[in-house]
Structure 1
Amino acid sequence: MNSRTLRADILLFITAAIWGLAFVAQRVGMEHVGPLTFNGIRFALGALALTPLILTLEKRRTPDNHGTDKKKMALGGLLLGLALFAGASLQQIGLAGPQLAALGFEASTAGKAGFITGLYVVLVPIFGLALAQRPGWGTWIGATLAVVGMYLLSVTADLTISFGDLLILVGALFWAGHVLLIGKLSPGLDAVDAIKLSTVQFAACAVLSLIGAAVTEEFTMTGLMGAAPAIAYGGLMSVGVAYTLQVIAQRDAEPAHAAIILSLEAVFAAIGGCLMLGEILTVRAMIGCGLMLVGMLLSQLRP
């Protein structure tokens, strides 16, 4: 392994850690503000955080490269923003402990949410069947392991599943659709336009979330100040810093290395939930997490 590859792997490891610990921040933020308010502000911060990266890369552009058509960029970003809004909203509501408890429902935990969200990795190639893609044996074995793991992690002995886990599972379907949509929109884009497209989708998601929050949630400055550290982490670190690190790292990373390292996001979510929130996974749940992680890796390494 050369020094550039090693540096890329280290940056991807940091990226996975930042994303995994973001589930802790999302759970903490729900103690102070509503889920749509949290998402609206953090994605707005994320869009702003990527602006310096865009300006830096724009300066390096060759004079004859004018980039992608603005209308195409706006439409693509809006479509991605809609998918992102659906996935992120379901995920955030699923983590909203106080809000769901007030309605008589049980929320998910940071650790569970990390692994359940990670199922999109398995769902993407399966959804690809609708696009005439043919998943390999790794996808099917991975999907089987992930389903068994999901059962052990979230389904109780009396065959019930918490409402929060269910919301995040539905959200994983939208995350998978989001990935497929990126696959349709991003080919041919250079680094600048790819990040611009992401910034547009973050902005669209922020606007949709804030509109929903204005209609359905109560907003107070006290709550906002209480959630400020969690929102800042979710917006600046999870979106701005981690996304930038991923873009830099994947120029030199080997695809297999990247797949394995980024899958550790779910592991960091579980570790963060345990150390910072006192969440406890039973032996049954830990076995389920292990099966899901193996399933995710198989679906990526043997697609």
Structure 2
Amino acid sequence: MKKKQIKGMLLLLLAAIIWGSAFVAQSVGMEYVGPFTFNCVRTLIGGIVLIPCITLLNHGKVKKKMTSSEKKRLMIGGICCGIALAIGSTLQQFGIMYTTVGKAGFITAFYIIIVPILGLLLGKKCGLSVWISVMIALIGLYFLCITDGFSIGKGDSYVFLGALAFAIHILVIDYFTQFNDGVKMSCIQFFSCGIICFIPMILFEHPEISTILLAWKPILYAGVLSCGVGYTLQMVGQKNMNPTVASLILSLESVISVIAGFLVLHQNLSQRELIGCALMFIAIILAQLPGEN
């Protein structure tokens, strides 16, 4: 396995760990503010956090002036990612209001199926081992997240549409990171997402500064770690990696959330959940075996 792929895999795994452990912040934040407000504030924070990071990363480097076409491509990439992120994260937040956490986690992870299917339409082929990994991961997620049967409701539909948007988000990143600096594009992504969420926030939620301040801890955590760190790790880690394999690694956030609940909240893992975790890890390892990925 190439060093770049190993590095990318580790960065994506770290992103999955951050997202899996950040779910508590998302849930708590929704007790104080609406989904548009939560996403608007946290993504703007994520964008602001990355500005000094970009400065530090460029410190001491020979500055190469970007051409107008390179600037345009960077802006288009960041805005496209921001649109997909705004749609996906907002639909997910709305869905969580009407469905259980387990079902939301399972349905969101459907992007591991959607990504390779959409990828085929874009000429991104996968080897047999990757397709087998996808199916094993899907079975694992079912064992992990669905404990009380399965039925389709209003919230489930929102979450599924969000999963479709996240799948598109992964493919958009896969395309634009070939040409652009991942950290800069991530910064533009967050500001684009924040601006998109700002309009419905003002029209439908009428947030007050006092309520936003009540939710400052979960918003700050989600903004700095989940957005600023997590999505930037995705941007950088996904470069030079098959998008289907990347989606498999990122789907480990469901496993991480269960493990975090066990370690931090002392929530015992059932035999069913342990089987789900094991299947997920087997799927990830299988996808990394040498072959046509």
Residues 127, 139 of structure 1: alpha-carbon distance in 2 compared, 3 angstrom cutoff: farther
* 1:172-226 deviation per Cα after TM superposition (whole angstroms, max 9, x unaligned): 221111111112212133xxx3211111111111111121222222423342122
Identity %: 39
Partner of 2:215: 227
Of stretches 195-204 and 222-231 in structure 1, the one that deviates more from structure 2 is 222-231
Q: In structure 2, what residue type is equivalent to 1:58?
A: N
Partner of 1:71: 72
Match of 2:254 among 251, 259, 266: 266
Q: In structure 1, what residue type is equivalent to 2:108?
A: T
Residues 248, 39 of structure 1: alpha-carbon distance in 2 compared, 3 angstrom cutoff: closer
* 1:245-294 deviation per Cα after TM superposition (whole angstroms, max 9, x unaligned): 6788899xxxxx99987554322212344566787876545544554554
Q: In structure 2, what residue type is equivalent to 1:199?
A: C
Alpha-carbon separation, structure 2, partners of 1:127 and 1:16: 22
Match of 2:146 among 150, 154, 160: 154
| Contact 1:24/1:272, CA 8 A, preserved across alignment | no
Alpha-carbon separation, structure 2, partners of 1:218 and 1:293: 43
Alpha-carbon separation, structure 2, partners of 1:163 and 1:137: 35
| CA RMSD in angstroms, aligned pairs only | 3.8
Partner of 2:3: none
Partner of 1:195: 183
Match of 2:205 among 190, 213, 217: 217
Alpha-carbon separation, structure 2, partners of 1:225 and 1:149: 39
| Contact 1:122/1:139, CA 8 A, preserved across alignment | no
Alpha-carbon separation, structure 1, partners of 2:8 and 2:176: 25
Partner of 2:57: 57
1:117 correspondence with 2:118: no
1:1-303 to 2 correspondences below 5 Å: 15-66=15-66, 69-96=70-97, 100=98, 107-109=99-101, 113-114=104-105, 116-152=107-143, 153-154=145-146, 156-157=148-149, 159-161=150-152, 163-189=154-180, 193-242=181-230, 264-273=252-261, 283-284=271-272, 287-288=275-276, 290-292=278-280, 294-295=282-283, 298-299=286-287, 303=293
Alpha-carbon separation, structure 2, partners of 1:290 and 1:216: 43
Q: SS of the residue aligned with 1:216?
A: helix
| Contact 1:119/1:146, CA 8 A, preserved across alignment | no
Alpha-carbon separation, structure 2, partners of 1:242 and 1:285: 25
Alpha-carbon separation, structure 1, partners of 2:198 and 2:31: 18
Structure 1, unpaired ranges of 5+ = 1-5, 101-106, 252-256
| Contact 2:252/2:280, CA 8 A, preserved across alignment | no
Q: In structure 2, what residue type is equivalent to 1:194?
A: G
Q: SS of the residue aligned with 1:62?
A: coil
Residues 112, 62 of structure 1: alpha-carbon distance in 2 compared, 3 angstrom cutoff: farther
Residues 272, 188 of structure 1: alpha-carbon distance in 2 compared, 3 angstrom cutoff: same
Q: In structure 2, what residue type is equivalent to 1:197?
A: M
- TM superposition shift of 1:160: 1.1
* 1:109-128 deviation per Cα after TM superposition (whole angstroms, max 9, x unaligned): 2x654554344344322321
Of stretches 55-64 and 32-41 in structure 1, the one that deviates more from structure 2 is 55-64
What is the TM-score with the length of structure 1 in the denominator?
0.75
What is the TM-score with the length of structure 2 in the denominator?
0.77
Alpha-carbon separation, structure 2, partners of 1:75 and 1:14: 27
Q: What is the count of residue pairs matched by the alignment? A: 283
Structure 2, unpaired ranges of 5+ = 1-5, 240-244
Q: In structure 2, what residue type is equivalent to 1:71?
A: K
Q: SS of the residue aligned with 1:198?
A: helix
